[in-house]
A and B are shown apart, each in its own frame.
Chain A
Amino acid sequence: MKFAIQINSAPWESQGGDTAYQFSRAALKLGHEIVRIFFYYEGAYHGLRWMAPPDDEKPLLQRWSALAAEQGVDLVICISAAHRRGLLEQTEATRMGKLDNDLAAGFRIAGLGLWVDACLKADRFLVFGA
């Protein structure tokens, strides 16, 4: 089965992102497909490369990057959600005259069109952290 996933909560805000991660790993293990994981609202913060939690907390960011690297899962952060919160990818930051390079490995920034595209391709659409 093909799943499209949306994450709406910030990493430290709720269980939502963690549950979505566990779900994605389990679904892939059982042979399902994750069409795309789309980060929206406060969920945009999942792709902030400068996150530096204490050592005894879950390495949320590294887990997402590993999921993308190992399984090729498409991790997309909404561009307007990211910009509103000051999370800029390097090329876009340069265009705006800023020095940011905030996007973590494995993520990309794109428009809501990719969210609709994922919804249309998937058999099931799940929202986490709503």
Chain B
Amino acid sequence: MKNFLFVMRDPPYQGSSIRESLDMMMTVAAFDQSVKVLFLDDGVFLLKPGQCPHNSSLRPTAPLFAALEMYDVEGLWAEQESLTERGLDSSELIVPVRSLRRTEIAFFLATADIVVSC
């Protein structure tokens, strides 16, 4: 078994890439591999509560993250500084996440066998 770490750095509603990233996570989980997700930079906006998208061509992404729990995704992490800089509180997100400090990110990435930036 390998440890997969997906790094999400882009905000929601930027094309369909979020949906495609989630497809990768779910496929990896279906192969009984370890899946972790790290939210960095504008990627933390994916976790913002109260999203109310009105663009009819892009579907809301928040429910997709809520569904990740069903797919044995091992855990979600967010960088504390990314949250703070954007006025987000780690205790008030759409799904529970653990927070990491910026100085811990390099070590965290090094613990994964496969890092997928998406």
Contact = CB atoms under 8 A, between A and B. Distances in A.
A120 to B, nearest CB: 6
B24 A127 contact: no
A125 B3 CA distance: 12
Interface stretch (B26-34, B39-47, B54-62, B73-81): B26-34
B31 A40 contact: no
A130 B31 contact: no
Query: In which size bucket is the chain B interface?
Result: 10 to 19
Interface stretch (B63-71, B82-90, B92-100, B110-118): B110-118
A119 B4 contact: yes
Question: Chain A CB within 10 Å — which of B2, B116, B117 has the most?
Answer: B116
Contact of B116 (A80, A81, A111, A127): A127
A127 B4 CA distance: 13
A84 interface: yes
Contacts of B4: 119
Nearest to B28: A116
A130 B27 CA distance: 19
A112 B23 contact: yes
A119 B114 contact: yes
A112 B27 contact: yes
12 contacts: A8-B118, A40-B20, A40-B24, A80-B20, A80-B23, A113-B31, A115-B27, A116-B33, A119-B114, A120-B33, A125-B114, A130-B117
Given A81-B20, A116-B33, A125-B116, 14 more contacts: A41-B118, A80-B20, A80-B23, A84-B16, A112-B24, A112-B27, A115-B24, A115-B27, A116-B27, A116-B28, A119-B4, A119-B114, A127-B118, A130-B118
Interface of B: 2, 4, 16-17, 20, 23-24, 27-28, 31, 33, 114, 116-118
